[in-house]
């Protein structure tokens, strides 16, 4: 007994030393200003609940401008704002379009006001002024003083439960508002239906249905209060209300426990002593009120706010410690905040009992995996999912299984394009889930049936009536008449088809391999030899006469002009270089891209980024050129890759609210940061290689799920020493500027020797 | 072996002889004209599917007149109409308000028209002219020739599946319309949401959510075609549509398999050979698309329309044979049609796997019972549920269990008032579920926990904020200021409280018994000795100065004036008679009721009935006076009961489309008919006695679930011999004008000796 005790005591400090408090470097506030579109609130890794403040809920005018002012509020919060409307439970991180913002809660005191009020005059509604001086945003915890009523608001979360703690001044007239009309990207008729059941004086359950970016979406909830409310009520803002005879039987505005309608706001009244804390647990479920309650009971059975906060931080530390970097304090903030933002999405979409709502709107049980949602695949196939294949292989395996479940439930028979909450909004070009699927299988991460996965990829790529796929198959390009993003689609389909070919090769399907290798060359069909740029064609195959290499809109692209998109052949840089006139010319073009000036008229074309989000004509704030800095490696000038990458790392990621030059895009920008900081990048997911760049860290230890470690050392690292003199993998010189996935997951050491001079 | 075979052969004719084809007497068309509000389509006993033609779907203007023209269409079909809009799957039978009409299907040919068109010009839409000459309506089967396109439509059903058979002329251009906007009592915003999934070229699933009389209602469906459609499409009539980016990806109007919106109409295209039959199976579920599919596979696995039709008829014959009556052919039609209408509701609300949607909007599993819905209890507590206690005790047991489940799921903690589809619309006065619960327990039908049932009754009766219950408890009456139906409520609460007292007595709860017996005397508080009528009081306890015994509205009543309602003390006629001045005066008042003239101005006040629905001032078309003809028995003039009852039977029930003088009210009118035809009636359910009247049948054999039989014989029966000379129960003279429930269920014989002269 004594001996065991001693062993136990000895072990504890060892474990504690191994796991650092890296959460302290996480600053969720990074990216909340300007275009980052991140949120500052509380969530746990890949959590289903994202409990975060809203600073505005401007209505989206359906027939108004597409990217209207509400575009700023995709994450619900803008650092520039002076008021907080309330705290809601679901948020995208870094997206360029939005939805969510479910179940807005706000504590108030004094005269009950059910309208949110305005930013100019918060006291005319339930919203409140706040200042960043009295705001703390940490991994898994958010705190702010609501100045209007001097209420301290604190938030934390478990995977499926948001926990609120409100410290009130003394009053007979304290309220908690539950605004069931509020939502992000709200517009008329977005709120389809709301049902609420006040089960008793501490428990409320219900659901909210919306039709927004997700067309058919229901979120169920269970909400408990730490103390009984003394009374409650609602206001129904519906223009027309159901069967009026019904309303006469009870007074349904006050203490009536069964509510339903399209537009409801509720309130709960309390008496509070001075500095009394009223806590709320708010659980979500995609399936039912009962599952929400079960989630709550399983994850947060008690009322200890600090314990939930500590568990949230602990869950972050567990993930963050998977990579321990040695770098400057500022870069640690950048690195671990990037890791935090990368591990926010996709989000869990399974209840504790394994049930989830499928794309077919049926309830399914996830057997042998956790179901995930929020797949922003046009962004995340590039670096986020490849990053997961190294650091989160189990979760990425489940994500691929989630995509396969989506496919199985799809009547359209497509893998997800941009899916969230049992819907696909089909946003952006390509069918990039095939890249994620192929990459996970090729890298040995996926444990499902690879044959079925290949079949799903093939079926997806042959959905002829989707975004020009039929023309693409028949002609090898998409006529401009058929799609406004004809070139983006052709180039991205070609890359995706190459992924399918790689997967087919892995599974020894030679015929499929050949078919898709042929399709993967379709990028050639949009290449205009006369200009050397990718250029739109009409149905007859002629290039369109009006052509502007600087412009995005009307030229067949999305989120990137021809300057950026013309480099989009990630799967075959060698052929592209040849097409563009050889290595010298190609490198010179890359130089031009990074040094040219993008006039304002064309910058306006470039969505989702700030002026800081571009370097010359290179648009880092959007994704299509994310691999481009690494292409110098193929042009025989790896030192240019090295200097460009280091410059991008410095210029595009800063440890400040406005530190992100463009949307974080569900972690893609952050994954780029981590890969590039570590010195390598997956230029073409679906390949098992990573192209080398210039590490920004002094060293890093990657702790893999297979218990092996992979270490990156940068000898002579400094801000000036951005050039790599030589690279050793486990002591052996690398001459081809790449490492393989197995080099990483088998464990080992990658040693960069840094210098201030390029190794030409 | 040989011996067994012979036994088998001998048995078959015996069984066949025992079960008659009584379905031939069922004329569902009875009551479809004027005010009966029945529907002519196909259903099985207590079936979840009621597949029936709609002849109009006029929109209900929420801010318009409450009982607008659409009031005529509560069952979707009016015999007077000349066109059929289509065939939908859910219908109330005989109600005075409505909902339902889900999933309207219509076959057409030629140019596709997705609008329903108008009754004046059916050819300008998908509706069609029809005539009763080419229409057949039977138990479980409906057939009509759609004249516009010469399509023969046939309908049949199982419990949860509607089956359609459309015989088309030859055409390349045949269509089946699925109108997901159509519904009964539609108005703006009633359609909350619709989701459709075209799984393959013969299977379509989805759901429809409405907010109408049921505030929060979802019906799931699965629909299969007997042959693949060649193409399909939709039109979305929503004023505003969700996320427009979405719509660009596919052409969603044609052959697009995932649809959602508030207002959708779909079509399916076929080539048809001459006289080709296209069949549809359409299954419903309260729970999920998958359950709907499971229901379909379990109930109607094949495509043999005639087999389903025969099974439906067989299921009716099985129920109808529970009472075999010997009477005129016309009265057999009246009797078995009444039985048919009585056995249509409540309706099954459980899937084949036992799941159902509860009042709490959660999915529940019905353990050990079938869950039912559509409880029009203000009507049906009177005679329908008592009738079930004799002829359908197992089902009534399940119905009480369904009510108890409703109570358990209710946050309001009330037993159902008027509930359907996991909602309560709280229509009409009283809390009459307590009568049904008490009656079922007192008569030994309920197998659940009687203590819990009593507790539910008590809790229901103490919901102080419901319709004046608080005032009723405090003051013994409801002030007119508090409720527009203050007297109806007080009188009915008093009766209901007497039921609770009887149940308490049965369970030996003396204190509860005394409390509720006291409450049951509250009818006295609205009795105005100065006029001898029930009269509204103000909060101070003074009778309102403006009093009109002929008027309903504004006088504190619903569906009955003071003349009718003043007799509403079914649980204590002796006290009422004393209050009204003794037996002579009382009998004279009854005479006046049956012979007075109700001027047009007051008739207009009387809802839900035709002029034929009244006899003098006695309003049989509404329910409050349904027991009144039997009160002569307490006034010492049973021969008056006998002649009144026979007159009502003759006048109010005719074997014709306009044969019902008022709404059938979910079978209450029909149950009155059957009881009274058999010679007895439950004046006060909750008592185990039946008051004797005058049988209209020559004889009847009731085949009980306990395998016993109860026989009614009417010696010297004729239209003139309406008076009863004497009655023998198992040969023993009855002197108190009543029999007990045990007299029936123990089996035996009730013999009436009829005469043309009253036995004074």
Q: Write down the residue that tokens 């709107």 correspond to.
A: A361
| Fold category of B27-318 in CATH | Beta-galactosidase; Chain A, domain 5 (2.70.98)
Q: Residue B255: list chain A partners with CB under 8 A.
A: 465
Q: Do A361 and B209 touch (CB under 8 A)?
A: no
Give the A:B interface size as CB pairs under 8 Å: 135
Helix pair B384-391, B393-409: axis angle to 10 deg: 130
**Nearest CB to B193; choose among A209, A255, A411:** A209
Q: Output the pLDDT for position B473.
A: 98
Closest by Cα among B562, B650, B573 to B598 = B562
Q: Residue B219: list chain A partners with CB under 8 A.
A: none
Q: From residue B289, how far is each of A11, A496, B359 by CA, in Å?
A: 54, 34, 19
Backbone angles phi, psi at A402, to 5 degrees: -65, -40
Beta-strand (E) ranges in B289-357? 323-326, 347-348, 355-357
Q: Output the pLDDT for position A70.
A: 59
Q: Output the pLDDT for position B125.
A: 95
pLDDT 10s digits, B559-585? 899 999 999 999 999 999 999 999 999
The half-sphere exposure of A545 on its side-chain side, counting CA atoms within 13 A, is 0
Q: Which two tokens stand for residue A587?
A: 């490198």
Q: Is A258 helix (H, G, I), strand (E, B) or coil?
A: strand
**Residue A97 carries which DSSP code?**
S
Q: Which two tokens stand for residue B277?
A: 């039959």
**Nearest CB to B240; choose among A188, A251, A363:** A188
Domain B363-547 superfamily per CATH: alpha-1,2-mannosidase (1.20.1050.60)
Q: Output the pLDDT for position A415.
A: 98
Q: Residue B63: list chain A partners with CB under 8 A.
A: 240
* Kind plus residue range of the DSSP H or E element containing B405: helix B393-409
Q: Residue B361: list chain A partners with CB under 8 A.
A: 195, 197, 207, 289
Q: Which two tokens stand for residue A230?
A: 């003394």
Spatial CB neighbours of A167, under 8 Å, sequence gap ≥ 6: A151, A152, A154, A275, A276, A277
CA distance B498 to chain A (A): 23
The whole-angstrom distance between residue B596's C-alpha and the CA centroid of its chain comes to 30
Q: Residue B211: list chain A partners with CB under 8 A.
A: 193, 242, 260-261
Q: Do A466 and B251 touch (CB under 8 A)?
A: no
Cβ atoms within 10 Å of B255's Cβ, excluding its own: 17
Q: Which of B92, B258, B259, B285 to mutate to test the interface with A (most CBs of A within 10 A)?
A: B258
CA distance A80 to chain B (A): 27
- Distance between CA atoms of residues B222 and B291, nearest Å: 9
Backbone angles phi, psi at A314, to 5 degrees: -60, -40
**Residue B145 carries which DSSP code?**
E
- Distance between CA atoms of residues B720 and B603, nearest Å: 30
CA distance B49 to chain A (A): 22
Q: Residue A426: list chain B partners with CB under 8 A.
A: 245-246, 249-250
**Nearest CB to A425; choose among B209, B240, B243:** B243
Q: Residue B363: list chain A partners with CB under 8 A.
A: 288
The span from the first CA to the last CA of chain B, in angstroms, equals: 64
Q: Residue B238: list chain A partners with CB under 8 A.
A: 189
Q: Residue A62: list chain B partners with CB under 8 A.
A: 240-241, 244
Q: Which two tokens stand for residue A342?
A: 């990368």
Note whether A278 and A225 are within 8 A (CB). yes
pLDDT 10s digits, B136-190? 999 999 999 999 999 999 999 999 999 999 999 999 999 999 999 999 887 667 8
**Nearest CB to B249; choose among A261, A262, A467:** A467
The full set of domain ranges for chain B reads 27-318, 363-547
Q: Output the pLDDT for position A606.
A: 67
Q: Residue A213: list chain B partners with CB under 8 A.
A: 242-243, 246
pLDDT 10s digits, A687-705? 999 999 999 999 999 999 9
Q: Output the pLDDT for position B69.
A: 53
- Distance between CA atoms of residues A278 and A443, nearest Å: 49
pLDDT 10s digits, B396-423? 999 999 999 999 999 999 999 999 999 9
Q: Do B249 and A426 touch (CB under 8 A)?
A: yes
Q: Residue B459: list chain A partners with CB under 8 A.
A: none
CA-nearest residue to B192 within chain A is: A192
- Distance between CA atoms of residues B686 and B442, nearest Å: 7
**B6 has pLDDT over 80:** no
Q: Is A123 helix (H, G, I), strand (E, B) or coil?
A: helix
CA-nearest residue to B256 within chain A is: A412
Domain A361-544 superfamily per CATH: alpha-1,2-mannosidase (1.20.1050.60)
* Kind plus residue range of the DSSP H or E element containing B604: none
Q: Do A197 and B97 touch (CB under 8 A)?
A: no
**Residue A405 carries which DSSP code?**
H
- Distance between CA atoms of residues B275 and B344, nearest Å: 33
**Nearest CB to A211; choose among B242, B289, B290:** B242
**B665 has pLDDT over 70:** yes
Q: Output the pLDDT for position A189.
A: 76
The mean predicted confidence, pLDDT, of chain B is 93
Q: Which of B59, B194, B243 to mutate to test the interface with A (most CBs of A within 10 A)?
A: B243
What is the pTM assigned to this prediction? 0.94
Query: Is residue B554 left, alpha or beta, with left meaning phi > 0 and alpha meaning psi from -120 to 50?
Result: left
Q: Which two tokens stand for residue A486?
A: 């004809």
Q: From residue A746, how far is each of A515, A736, B163 by CA, in Å?
A: 33, 20, 62
Looking at domain A27-313, which of 3.40.50.300, 3.10.129.10, 2.70.98.10, 3.30.450.20 is its CATH number?
Answer: 2.70.98.10
Q: ipTM of this model?
A: 0.93
Q: Which of A60, A193, A203, A249 to mutate to test the interface with B (most CBs of B within 10 A)?
A: A249
Q: Output the pLDDT for position B12.
A: 40
**Nearest CB to B427; choose among A192, A245, A258:** A245
Q: Is B404 helix (H, G, I), strand (E, B) or coil?
A: helix
Q: From residue B707, how far is each of A373, A503, B440, B712 by CA, in Å?
A: 58, 70, 19, 16
Beta-strand (E) ranges in B607-652? 614-615, 618-619
Q: Residue A192: list chain B partners with CB under 8 A.
A: 192-193, 262
Q: Which of B242, B424, B430, B471 to mutate to test the interface with A (most CBs of A within 10 A)?
A: B242
**Nearest CB to B212; choose among A212, A242, A426:** A242
Q: Residue B422: list chain A partners with CB under 8 A.
A: none
Q: Do B242 and A195 touch (CB under 8 A)?
A: no
**Nearest CB to B216; choose among A239, A248, A260:** A260
Q: Do B288 and A246 touch (CB under 8 A)?
A: no
| Ranges of chain A whose pLDDT falls below 50 | 1-17, 59-68, 246-247
More confidently predicted of B606 and A298: A298
pLDDT 10s digits, B183-204? 988 766 789 999 999 999 999 9
**Nearest CB to B411; choose among A258, A261, A427:** A258
Among A595-599, B627-631, B659-663, the range with the most confident prediction by mean pLDDT is: B627-631
CA distance A8 to chain B (A): 47
Q: Output the pLDDT for position B597.
A: 87
pLDDT 10s digits, B221-256? 999 999 999 999 999 988 776 555 544 678 889 999
**Nearest CB to B288; choose among A238, A257, A363:** A363
């Amino acid at each position: 007994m004594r001996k065991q005790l001693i062993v136990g005591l000895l072990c504890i400090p060892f474990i504690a030393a191994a796991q650092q408090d890296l959460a302290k470097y996480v600053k969720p506030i990074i990216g909340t200003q300007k275009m980052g579109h991140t949120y500052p609130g509380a969530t746990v890794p890949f959590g289903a609940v994202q409990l975060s403040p809203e600073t505005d809920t401007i209505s989206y005018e359906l027939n108004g401008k597409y990217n209207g002012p509400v575009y700023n509020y995709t994450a619900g919060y803008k650092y520039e704002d002076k008021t907080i409307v309330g705290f809601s439970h679901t948020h995208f991180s870094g997206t360029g379009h939005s939805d969510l913002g479910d179940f807005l809660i706000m504590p108030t005191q004094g005269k009950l006001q059910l309208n949110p009020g305005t930013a100019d005059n918060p006291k005319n509604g339930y919203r409140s002024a706040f200042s960043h001086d009295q705001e703390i945003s940490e991994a898994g915890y958010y705190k702010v003083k609501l100045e209007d009523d001097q209420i301290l608001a604190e938030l934390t979360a478990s995977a499926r439960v948001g926990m609120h703690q409100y410290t009130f001044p003394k009053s007979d007239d304290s309220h908690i508002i539950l605004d069931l009309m509020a939502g992000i990207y709200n517009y008329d008729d977005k709120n389809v239906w709301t049902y609420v059941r006040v089960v008793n004086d501490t428990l409320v359950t219900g659901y909210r249905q919306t039709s927004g970016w997700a067309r058919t979406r229901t979120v169920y909830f269970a909400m408990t209060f730490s103390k009984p409310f003394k009374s409650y009520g609602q206001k129904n803002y519906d223009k027309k209300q159901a069967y009026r005879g019904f309303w006469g039987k009870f007074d349904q505005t006050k203490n009536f426990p069964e509510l339903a309608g399209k537009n409801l706001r509720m309130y709960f009244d309390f008496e509070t002593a001075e500095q009394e804390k009223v806590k709320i647990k708010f659980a979500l479920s995609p399936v039912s009120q009962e599952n929400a309650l079960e989630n709550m009971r399983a994850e947060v059975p008690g009322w200890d706010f600090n314990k939930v906060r500590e568990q949230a931080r602990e869950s972050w530390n567990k993930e963050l410690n998977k990579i321990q970097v040695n770098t400057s304090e500022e870069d640690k903030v950048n690195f671990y905040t990037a890791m935090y933002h990368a591990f926010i999405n996709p989000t869990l979409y399974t209840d504790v009992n394994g049930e989830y709502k499928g794309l077919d709107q049926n309830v399914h049980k996830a057997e042998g995996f956790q179901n995930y949602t929020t797949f922003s695949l046009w962004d995340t196939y590039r670096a986020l999912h490849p990053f997961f294949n190294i650091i989160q292989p189990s979760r990425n395996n489940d994500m691929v299984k989630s995509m396969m479940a989506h496919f199985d439930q799809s009547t359209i028979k497509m893998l997800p394009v941009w899916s969230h909450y049992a819907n696909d909004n089909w946003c952006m070009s390509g069918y990039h889930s095939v890249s994620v699927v192929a990459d996970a299988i090729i890298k040995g991460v996926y444990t499902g049936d690879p044959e079925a996965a290949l079949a799903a990829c093939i079926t997806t790529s042959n959905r002829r009536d989707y975004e020009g796929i039929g023309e693409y198959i028949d002609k090898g390009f998409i006529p401009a008449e058929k799609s406004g993003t004809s070139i983006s689609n052709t180039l991205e389909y070609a890359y995706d088809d190459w992924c399918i070919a790689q997967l087919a090769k892995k599974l020894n399907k030679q015929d499929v391999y050949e078919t898709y290798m042929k399709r993967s060359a379709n990028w050639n069909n949009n290449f205009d030899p006369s200009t050397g740029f990718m250029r739109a064609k009409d149905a007859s195959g002629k290039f369109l006469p009006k052509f502007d290499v600087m412009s995005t809109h009307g030229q067949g692209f999305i989120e990137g002009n021809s300057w950026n998109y013309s480099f989009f052949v990630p799967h075959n840089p060698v052929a592209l270089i040849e097409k563009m006139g050889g290595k010298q010319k190609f490198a010179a073009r890359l130089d031009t891209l990074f040094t040219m000036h993008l006039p304002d008229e064309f910058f306006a074309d470039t969505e989702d980024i700030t002026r800081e989000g571009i370097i010359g004509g290179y648009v880092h704030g959007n994704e299509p050129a994310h691999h481009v800095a690494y292409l110098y490696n193929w042009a025989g000038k790896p030192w240019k890759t090295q200097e460009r990458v280091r410059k991008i790392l410095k210029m595009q990621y800063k440890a400040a609210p406005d530190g992100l030059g463009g949307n974080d895009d569900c972690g893609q920008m952050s994954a780029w940061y981590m890969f590039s900081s570590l010195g390598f990048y997956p230029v073409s997911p679906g390949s098992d290689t990573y192209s080398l760049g210039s590490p920004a860290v002094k060293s890093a230890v990657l702790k893999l799920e297979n218990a092996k470690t992979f270490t990156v050392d940068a000898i002579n690292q400094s801000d000036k020493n951005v050039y790599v003199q030589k690279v050793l993998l486990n002591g052996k010189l690398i001459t081809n500027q790449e490492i393989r996935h197995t080099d990483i997951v088998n464990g080992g050491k990658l040693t960069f020797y840094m210098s201030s001079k390029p190794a030409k």
